[in-house]
Structures are given as C-alpha cells and as structure tokens.
C-alpha cells in the first residue's frame, strides 16, 4: 500500500473534521473515540462536503440533509442517503497522519 501524508497528528482535534485532498481525492479526517478515521469528503446523497458536518458516536452528519455516515464503514445510518461513502486506511507514524486513498473499503 502507498500511504500519503495527510497532516500532522496535532492538527486533529477530537470530534472536529479536517478536510484534506490527497491525489485529487477529497478526504475528511476525524479523531474520535481514541482513533483516527479517514472517509471520503463527499456525501453520497447530496454531493456536499462531509467535513462541514458534526461528529457524534463515531459518525459524521451531512450538514445539508442530516444523513449520518459511520466513520468505520462509510455506511449511512438512514435516509436520505442510501449509498455508502468510501473509507480509507489510516496510520500514524512519527507524529504524522498517513492515509491510503487508493485502497477503498
């Protein structure tokens, strides 16, 4: 796998989404519940940025219509979204956060 450096670990604040672009892929990074997650930044329902939404219970809410996506799986928890968004592997090394954007799950 080819991980790309996304940000410094210190740039991530608990339950506060951070938008980055890696290899032309918009990604939202979230530190929550002791882990760091990377999810595609585009809502599958309305094509808006998820990084502008709120984080709660390991989910991120789309600010436009209220769909919630699981940060671990990308699956929506209910309508109006019915399609998942890609999630990406994350590793932390030497104080930096790395994301593998070519390995969707």
Domain tally, the chain: 1
Taking a C-beta distance cutoff of 8 angstroms, is the pair 73, 81 a contact?
A: no
Does residue 83 sit within a domain?
yes
Q: Could you tell me the residue range of the domain that residue 24 belongs to?
A: 4-99
pTM: 0.93
Domain-embedded: residue 104:
no
* 32 contacts 18 by C-beta, under 8 angstroms: no
In angstroms, the CA 104 to CA 88 distance is: 5
Dihedral sign, Cα of residue 10, residue 16, residue 35, residue 90: negative
- Give the integer Cα–Cα distance in Å for 93 and 21: 19
Segments in the chain below pLDDT 50: none
CATH at 30:
2.102.10.10
Residue 105 domain flag: no
Asked if the structure places residue 29 within a domain, the reply is yes
Largest CA distance in the chain: 40
């Amino acid at each position: 796998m080819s991980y790309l450096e996304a940000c410094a670990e210190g740039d991530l604040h608990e339950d506060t989404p951070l938008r980055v672009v890696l290899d032309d892929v918009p990604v939202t990074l979230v530190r929550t519940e002791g882990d760091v997650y990377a999810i595609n930044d585009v809502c599958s329902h309305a094509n808006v940025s998820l990084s502008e939404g709120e984080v709660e219970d390991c989910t991120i809410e789309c600010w436009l219509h209220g769909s919630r996506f699981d940060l671990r799986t990308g699956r929506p928890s209910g309508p109006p979204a019915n399609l998942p968004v890609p999630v990406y592997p994350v590793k932390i090394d030497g104080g930096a956060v790395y994301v593998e954007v070519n390995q969707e799950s």
